[in-house]
């Protein structure tokens, strides 16, 4: 295992080195939060694929394949479909807005402070996304070093917090590109073919497993529907995803680069399910489906290659963790703290915005690590976050992009009614039930349409400014300092 350990240590050191390199490029708020809005198609595609394909898509995707067979791909497939829908239908408009957060978009569209409550909901979602990604370090480091859970979380989380704090989005972009390559080589080019060959090929897999393992809907139609509601729609509105769209240097890059990343996700989904199916043939009696990834890596891969594939799993977790962390810090700063600060700050007050952004990432990173250590049931916590995100924010966000008649009061009613409906239904049906989002989403839609129609239309001047920004004819917000190196 010495060679495998060396691969992992070199990988972690490389991530810190990338963070230090990225620090030299983060000279303005735009650089730090959205990589100066200058990513081309290659880097944009790689980093977008890296952030959406995290530990749940890698370790969890293989685990679903182990439990359900090829239909276990549906979770990651719905993520890819959501990214494709975002890229084809909305990303160009989102990129032209030149904002930093989803809540800023709501403020621009509705001409008020519709983003205050949405900022709190989005912050909770990004925080829990970062927490669940951070907890995954415990699984990986336990396989590698038989490490204590708390120590593993602190080690993995500290590396991500360090490089994210140093260079912001530039550091995260550089590390995500490395992580994208490592995942592609480790999972698609190495683990996938080895797993299939060791299982005896597809013919042997079919002979040894039930027919349901090769049924496209073996996981259940209701489960697929729930995945679509949570993950496909979640991809359309999550701050972590939008913040990557903001990094594109043009709307064309956002559209086509995202389409490539979404297509890659579909291939990754099928690969994970096939690996899990092969693991079921090789190890039919594992204690937990989520052990399938680590088990097949430890037992079937040669030294060195094993280290690279475990680094791929670590890369998957780190890419999602770092993306969620900077999204959480951005929302906390721009949508929550800046509003409180703005209410009490005096004219002439100033501060170093990059230093402030770094401080927020550091604080949020410490909060994420602490929460990850303390939290037990991460599945329930993440389910609450996703249900609130989709049930409360999907309608006002997409409504603002698609329906001129939507108003600020309609958006606020939609967030409140949808959020309360989700919480109430969770209390009645249980946190992991599908009903909260099944019924919460229609309730949010009804509230949005009814209140919007019952209130005065949005001021035409606000809509005119909104159209200018959507068309890309308006500069960034006045508060945005010009990058020092441009």
> Kind and range of the H or E element at 61?
helix 61-68
Alpha-helical runs (H) found in 283-407: 292-300, 305-331, 338-344, 353-374, 378-402
Contact 425, 435 (CB under 8 A): yes
* The two structure tokens encoding residue 14: 């490389």
How do the pLDDT tens digits run along the chain, 486 residues long? 677 778 888 888 888 888 788 777 777 888 899 988 999 999 999 999 988 888 778 888 999 999 999 999 999 999 999 999 999 999 999 999 989 999 889 989 998 666 677 888 899 889 988 888 888 777 777 766 778 888 988 988 898 999 899 888 988 888 889 889 988 998 999 999 999 999 999 999 999 999 999 999 999 999 999 899 989 999 999 899 999 999 999 999 999 999 999 999 999 999 999 999 999 999 999 888 888 888 898 888 888 888 888 888 888 888 888 889 999 999 999 888 887 776 544 444 444 678 888 899 999 999 999 998 887 666 677 777 888 889 989 999 999 999 999 999 999 999 999 999 999 999 999 888 889 999 999 999 999 999 999 999 999 999 999 998 888 776 655 444 333 333
Nearest-angstrom CA–CA distance, 154 and 152: 5
Residue 368's nearest CA partner among 334, 314, 293, 318 is 318
Task: Give the DSSP per-residue string, 215-247.
Answer: -TTTT-HHHHHHHIIIIIHHHHH-HHHHHHHTT
Contact 136, 290 (CB under 8 A): no
Residue keyed to tokens 């359900």 = 68
List the beta bridge partners of residue 248. 39
Alpha-helical runs (H) found in 86-200: 91-96, 102-110, 115-145, 149-183, 192-198
* The two structure tokens encoding residue 233: 């729609």
Non-local CB neighbours of 6 within 8 Å, separated by 6+ positions: 307
* The two structure tokens encoding residue 30: 């735009």
Torsions phi, psi for 39 (to 5 deg):
-75, 135
Non-local CB neighbours of 2 within 8 Å, separated by 6+ positions: none
Torsions phi, psi for 148 (to 5 deg):
-55, 140
* The two structure tokens encoding residue 23: 């620090």
List the beta bridge partners of residue 427. none
- Domains in the chain with CATH codes: 1-336+357-375 (1.20.1730.10), 379-472 (no CATH)
Nearest-angstrom CA–CA distance, 29 and 326: 13
Nearest-angstrom CA–CA distance, 100 and 319: 19
Nearest-angstrom CA–CA distance, 159 and 325: 12
Q: What is the largest CA-CA distance in the chain?
A: 75
Dihedral sign computed on CA atoms, order 388, 47, 475, 481: positive
* The two structure tokens encoding residue 12: 């972690």
Contact 276, 61 (CB under 8 A): yes
């Amino acid at each position: 295992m010495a060679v495998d350990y060396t691969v992992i240590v070199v990988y972690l050191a490389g991530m810190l080195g990338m963070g230090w390199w990225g620090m030299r490029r983060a000279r303005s708020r735009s650089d730090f939060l959205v990589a100066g809005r200058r990513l081309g198609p290659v880097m944009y595609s790689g980093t977008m694929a890296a952030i959406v394909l995290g530990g749940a898509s890698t370790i969890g995707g293989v685990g679903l394949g182990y439990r359900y067979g090829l239909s276990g791909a549906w979770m990651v497939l719905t993520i890819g479909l959501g990214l494709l829908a975002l890229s084809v239908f909305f990303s160009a408009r989102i990129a032209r807005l030149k904002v930093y957060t989803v809540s800023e978009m709501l403020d621009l569209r509705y001409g008020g402070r519709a983003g205050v409550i949405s900022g709190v909901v989005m912050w909770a979602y990004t925080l829990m996304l970062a927490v669940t990604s951070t907890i995954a370090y415990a699984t990986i480091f336990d396989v590698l070093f038989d490490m204590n859970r708390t120590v593993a979380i602190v080690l993995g989380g500290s590396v991500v917090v360090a490089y994210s704090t140093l260079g912001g989005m530039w550091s995260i972009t550089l590390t995500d590109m490395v992580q994208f390559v490592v995942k592609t080589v480790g999972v698609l080019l190495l683990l996938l073919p080895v797993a299939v060959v060791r299982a005896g090929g597809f013919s042997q897999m079919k002979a040894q497993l039930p027919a349901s393992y090769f049924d496209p809907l073996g996981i259940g139609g209701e489960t697929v529907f729930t995945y679509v509601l949570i993950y496909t729609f979640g991809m359309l509105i999550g701050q972590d995803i939008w913040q990557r769209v903001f990094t594109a240097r043009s709307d064309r890059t956002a559209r086509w680069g995202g389409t490539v990343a979404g297509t890659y996700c579909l291939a990754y989904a099928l690969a994970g399910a096939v690996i899990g199916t092969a693991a079921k043939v090789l190890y039919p009696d594992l204690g937990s489906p989520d052990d399938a990834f680590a088990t097949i890596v430890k037992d079937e891969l040669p030294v060195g290659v094993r280290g690279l594939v475990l680094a791929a799993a670590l890369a998957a977790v780190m890419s999602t963790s770092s993306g969620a962390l900077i999204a959480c810090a951005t929302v906390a700063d721009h949508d929550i703290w800046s509003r409180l600060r703005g209410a009490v700050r005096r004219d002439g007050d100033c501060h170093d915005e990059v230093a402030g952004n770094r401080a927020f990432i550091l604080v949020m990173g410490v909060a994420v690590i602490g929460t990850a250590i303390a939290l037990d049931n991460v599945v329930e916590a993440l389910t609450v976050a996703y249900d609130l995100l989709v049930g409360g924010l999907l309608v006002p966000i997409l409504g603002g992009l698609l329906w001129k008649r939507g108003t600020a009061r309609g958006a606020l009613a939609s967030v409140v009614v949808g959020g309360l409906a989700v919480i109430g239904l969770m209390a009645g049906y249980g946190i992991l039930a599908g009903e909260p989002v099944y019924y919460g989403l229609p309730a949010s839609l009804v509230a949005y349409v009814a209140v919007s129609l019952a209130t005065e239309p949005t001021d035409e001047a606000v809509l005119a400014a909104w159209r200018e920004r959507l068309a890309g004819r308006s500069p960034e917000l006045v508060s945005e300092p010009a990058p020092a190196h441009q």
